[in-house]
Amino acid sequence: MVKLILSSMTVLLSSTLALSTLLSTAVLSTVVLSTTASATQLTYTENDTTDPNNRALGYPVPVPVASQTPVDGFRQYDSLFARHQDMALNFDSITGNIIGQTRAGEDIWAYTLSDADNTTFEGNIVEGSMLQNGGIHAREWQSPEVVTGIIERFYDNQNDQGFYRYLLDNSRMIIIPVLNVDGFRQTQRYPMNAVFSTDQDDNPEFPRDGRMRRKNMLDVDTDLSTENDFLLGVDLNRNNSPYWATNPGRSSNRQQSIVHHGSGPGSEPETQALQAAAALAAGTLRFYIDTHSFTQIYFAPMTGNTRRDNITASIAARMQSVNGNRYAYGPSGAGAGIGSTDEYFANTFQVPSYTLETEPGQSGGTQYGGFGVSHDGFILPESEIARVRNELANASILGYYIQAGVPSIIQLQITRVDTGATVYLGNWQADSATSRSWQETANATLETDVNYRVRLSFNKTMRWRNNGQSAQYPGQSIAMQPTISLEGFDSGGNNYSVALNNGVGQWVNNVSVANDGYLNYEDDSYVFEFTLPGGSAVIGATLQQLAITVTDLAGQSVDANPATVATWQNGSWVNYESSDGSIGDIGGVDRSIRLVNDGSPLFTDPAAPPSGGGGSGGGVTSSGGGGSNGVVWTIMGLLALLARSKRKTI
């Protein structure tokens, strides 16, 4: 309850603070405007305050730039559109889709970033989908640039064979660059002008229409000087179920209100287009972001689905860390809302769903040395947008990566370094959307004093590269080296565990020549070498199983049981097993690969005392002990630990 209250307070506080900076300047202007009849226009300037209706920002007023490539500035809608179309024409993995029309009849486009099929590279496993919306609020120019930056990131990396190619092949990313096309065009028509509000709920200093239009263009013409319509339009982020028109404080039935919710949930064609974009996901949606500005925060509605809510927080933490935690996290309480799109996606699809408020923070333009005029947070200086584009592409794409799928081991190959001969080869083959089977095509006995090369391959790119070197993804801090050991019961029935890689292997991005390169995507494989010394407990062991502890580049542990395919369903992962075989959302240690199998249950740590639960195989371990009492097991466990501590690891 306390958490819920705090969450609610966070949202309320954040949304209040978003406007708090605007209020400070409003008081001064009230005096000036008290004699103004109505609908006085204002002009944004860099530092010219000679006219009382000028509002000096303290930095150059951005004007739309005619450029298709990204610049230090905000591009014209026509240029952005041509850019999007061009990328779709010249990169097979980008597809344009018309998802609807605006009030003025303009096409609204969504771009799908994916390969042609709907399954992962493994064949039978269905890809998950992500949706990111941009430009729902017209004046928030940061938004179309940020989401276009995501498309451009993939376009620019179309020859990549690692991280980006993995995402394109194994997920479907749907990006809407500008949902509120009419409103966005209106803001770009008047980049330096707006109109002082005359609405009863607004402070007279608040700017509306022109550069500061937020809503769509329902019943609005493009002429700033016509005074009877400039306040009209529908706030598309109040036009959504399930909480449409349920919060009179933050959404209004008055058409002039800045947060007018429209005539009904989904009444606006732009809202319907957003829902049509979700339909492109064909029931596989796993993630949603609505991109706004400003206040620098990830708002996230809670739904009461505990696992979904926890995953939402966990992914937010990862995205926040990408940019040094300069973005806050603002969960809201379940069971209430304002009619926003993030609520619609959270509750309708049970996916992690966010309203991302980009830079600046609550201090608005003063963050960049600006003078702090009302609403200047919506006018990001041109000099900042390239950085913001890049930073938020990193953050969102990490979110996509997390939701694209949990990491899972799919192949193990062991070769002799001296001869190149394969002594072990097995892989998990996807038989269906939900199951894999282990296919073993080589299995020779390991010998002492032979140098072996191991390549362990996963179902996703596991590491990031920076300047060609394996590196942390921006802002992340994971263990770069997996921990891999061979464990089981030796010929005497004692448990053993020998470390194999000792932290000296490497993630590979080269084409494999001698079991030393990647399998499907760069950095999907880890390669290391080992030698068993004479007298190793491994020789002659009745159980030889690998214990593999590793996370992907976002810190997700591997699925401990690849036999059941982890997938997303109703707000959480299904078949994502932990070390003990239990299903959850965190994964664990993979103990699914056995070079010598004694038939004992999977997920069993030979060194661990037996427990009542756990294990899916239902067999009995070769060391016996089924039905033994706890005291005996405890003593055996202690003996085993003592024996292991004396054993030399390799």
Partner 1 sequence: MKIRKHFLLVGLFLCVGASSIAHANVENYRLIPPDSLNQQVNQTKQLLLFQKIQQATSPLELAQQIVRSKSLSTVNKEYLLFELAKNLRITNLQIKQANKQSALSYIKSLKPQLKTVLSDGNHQQVIIAFPFDKAAEASQEYLKLSQLAEKVTTLIQQADYATLSLQNEFLSLDKKQTQLTKKIIGQLSQQQAEYFVDWSLERSDINLESKLIFALKAKNKNVVLNLLQDKKSIPLHRYLQAVINLWSKSQQLSAIASISKNENYASQMMYLVNDLNIPREQKINFWISQLDKSTSGASAAHSLAKIMNNDLADNLAQKSIETQSQSFQSRALLALNLSKQDYAKEKIKMLLEDGLVSANLAKEVSKWLN
Q: Any contact of residue 72 with partner 1 (CB under 8 A)?
A: yes
> 169 near 120, Cβ under 8 Å?
yes
95 binds partner 1 (CB under 8 A): yes
Distance between CA 132 and CA 152 in Å, rounded? 14
Interacting positions 2-61 with partner 1 (CB under 8 A)? 59-60
How many residues of this chain interact with partner 1, rule: CB under 8 A? Answer: 28
97-156 positions binding partner 1, by CB under 8 A: 97-98
* The one among 44, 73, 103, 553 contacting partner 1 by CB under 8 A: 73
Q: Which of these segments, 76-84, 402-410, 492-500, 515-523, binds partner 1 (CB under 8 A)?
A: 76-84
What's the one-letter identity of residue 351?
Answer: V
Nearer to partner 1, 107 or 229 (CB): 107
Specify the pairing of strand 207-208 against strand 285-293: unpaired
- Tell me the closest approach of the beta carbon of residue 368 to partner 1, in angstroms: 10
As a whole number of angstroms, the distance between CA 127 and CA 303 comes to 24
411 closest CA partner among 431, 429, 432: 429
Q: What angle do CA 157, 109, 15 make, to 5 degrees?
A: 90
Q: For the CA atoms of 183, 185, 191, 197, what is the dihedral angle to 10 degrees? A: -20
CB of 142 to partner 1, least distance (A): 16
Decide whether 383 or 439 has the Cβ nearer to partner 1.
383
Place of tokens 């309708």: 348
Minimum CB distance to partner 1 smaller for 74 or for 349: 74
Read off the DSSP letter of residue 273: H
594: helix, strand or coil: strand
Strand ranges for 364-435 from DSSP E? 409-416, 422-430
Instruction: State in angstroms the smallest separation of the CB of 13 from partner 1.
Output: 30
Q: Which listed range, 11-19, 82-90, 343-351, 527-535, lies at the site for partner 1 (CB under 8 A)? A: 82-90
Tell me how far, at minimum, the Cβ of 389 lies from partner 1, in Å: 12
Q: Give residues 334-393 in contact with partner 1 (rule: CB under 8 A).
A: 369, 382-383, 386
- Out of 8, 79, 158, 305, the only residue in the binding site for partner 1 (CB under 8 A) is 79
Site string for partner 1, 549-568 (x = CB under 8 A): --------------------
The residues, ordered by sequence, that sit 6+ positions from 132 with a Cβ below 8 Å of its Cβ are: 147, 150, 173, 174, 175, 176, 288, 289, 290, 291, 396
Of 88 and 259, the one with the shorter C-beta distance to partner 1 is 88
Torsion of CA 410, 415, 420, 423, to 10 degrees: -100
Choose which of 40, 85, 305, 310 interacts with partner 1 (CB under 8 A): 85
Sheet holding 297-301, edge to edge: 94-101, 107-113, 171-176, 128-133, 285-293, 353-358, 297-301, 328-332
* Cβ 76 to partner 1 shortest distance, Å: 9
Shortest distance (Å) from residue 272 CB to partner 1: 17
CA dihedral 616, 622, 626, 629 (to 10 degrees): -120
Does position 506 bind partner 1 by CB under 8 A? Answer: no
Q: Compare residues 44 and 59 and give the one whose CB is closer to partner 1.
A: 59
Residues that bind partner 1 (CB under 8 A): 59-60, 65-69, 71-73, 78-79, 82-83, 85-86, 88-90, 92, 95-98, 369, 382-383, 386
